[in-house]
Amino acid sequence: MFKRKPNNSATVDTLIGAKTRINGDVEFEGGFHLDGYINGNVTCDGAADAFLSVSEQGCIEGSVFAPNVLLNGTVKGNIDAADRVELGAKAKVHGHVAYTVIETAVGAQISGKLIHRGAASAPRAPEIAEGEPGSQT
């Protein structure tokens, strides 16, 4: 009846350090941990157990498409998670969040819509109208 939480000891395949800035889109597979800054979209086309982890000092200015997202930093764009979203106490989302399962700590901030999807739904980008958080106007 209840889904098991992803294994927190999952392998991190890619690590972006706190002093690193990336201008452009990033595609990854497996585990991806961000302590730095990305100005672009972050996409995972890999397995269902792949995850994106963003620390308190991490920031993404762009949309996120990943099966599992663990956020304690900032995303200035939409999050589209096919499975699970975990928002830590310092998490800030300036955009919409599409999810199957969501866990939110006290203190997390979302400036946008929460969009629940059924377990069988295919990943899709949340629709954004002009003037809404995450729109490029």
Residue 132: the pLDDT is 60
Residue 127: the pLDDT is 55
Residue 120: the pLDDT is 52
Q: pLDDT digit of tens for each residue in the chain (137 aa)?
A: 344 455 555 789 999 999 999 999 999 999 999 999 999 999 998 788 999 999 999 999 999 999 999 999 999 999 999 999 999 999 999 999 999 999 999 999 999 999 998 755 555 555 555 556 555 44
What's the pTM?
A: 0.81
For the chain, which residues make up each domain, given as ranges?
A: 14-116
Residue 94: the pLDDT is 98
Cα–Cα dist 5/12, whole Å: 17
Residue 53: the pLDDT is 97
